[in-house]
Structure 1
């Protein structure tokens, strides 16, 4: 009688996928960072930007995340690091604004957001433990009430990275204030262009560039509010950032240097032949000047 051969169970029977990645999970109890899938699986960010965002989220408050500091930390160059920072800023994971210090110095304030869709920044106090609800006494023969599932956060669609916003060549505090007032007042003419304070701070430098190039505030408002789509605008800040970048006018040409006006020599009548000729003073014409006795 032949001996029966036993084969190992297939991957499908054992629950192990036949292809693709297999995870070996480990529960961290120290030195770890929680990263949301909205960032780790973001379809609009490059792999460099996602990795840089994870690194920034793992840092403590006050850490240096400028281009020079990140370039010294990683092998990527300044161009790659700068592009990744612009991607994170366009998708709301970073906010960089220029502010003037009391000593008349301009500094860049950087704020990192773990989840841009959250109402409040991540630096809010740690949540307190929620007390367990008391269980109601169950009557004999009745089935226990199943617990209510936790609410699922609203889905935030991915946004493709937008080009970097223009920066003013010569930052000016008064011009920056005017730009902020323009953005905050857009909803008067276009109720769909309601911006948050963070969006106003992010877009104000781009509006300052328009003012720096000689565009009047009223003209900036007309450009930003003209021909808006009839459908509701889900991301008004993204629409304004596109217009401020794509419709940016060139700088005004420098005025040409005024040329000196040539002096016109007046006409004179020759004292001898009475012919007209040009000379600064009355007298004889050139021909009569050569005759004897003139």
Structure 2
């Protein structure tokens, strides 16, 4: 009975006072990290609005050292997710304040994307002091020996010295602190004003009523083209111009409802653009479609005043044989 049994299982450790083991769910076994760890807040780990990929990507970014590259292609090489999924996760983090990306210009003129990661959204980043050129300070005088204090030496008179030239500040290297970067907005082209909406030459009540009914009926053929009363009133003159130029209502409806973008965010702006840019010219008249005829000039007949012979001329006179000026010139 006193021989110990080496094959018997060890006794379970006594529970820690105040520690209760749950009957179901996850059980944590935690050990304190001494090195190589990152502190992540529960506001990120248990975020209700972020996807699991975005939470994992934010955790990975916060664990990287400063200066690490976290471009979309670099992350796609590191993880099995596609570039599209990683780009969507980065946009989620930007929308919730965990990430901020901006374009900055370096000292050599190159433009790069600067990424700032926040472990606590809503907190302002500390502003780094602007580096200033360092000037050499004069060396502090050495303490005099004890016996020298009893016999003071006369102070020699020196001529005033010109101020020493200051060294020019050393240009900042390429790896300057973030405060040395200049934020550059993305290039934008000046917007051209939209073309004015066409107006009918002779507006009538019938044209206005037909154009308004055609615009209000567009939502039956394309639900995305549901217009308000104000939009219908604003676009009515343009459709009336189409009707004035003998455009069939079916032609107008087909032009305005074909090949709509998805999703359609601004239906009134799209209709205004199509009504203005696709406006057909007026139909030509019958006289414009008739080919021009060659004009025939008929010279009338005249009787010679001398021999009474008939000849063609624009005015009465003498025939060729009776003209004395021709004989004189010959």
TM-score, normalisation: structure 2: 0.37
Larger Rg: 2
TM-score, normalisation: structure 1: 0.41
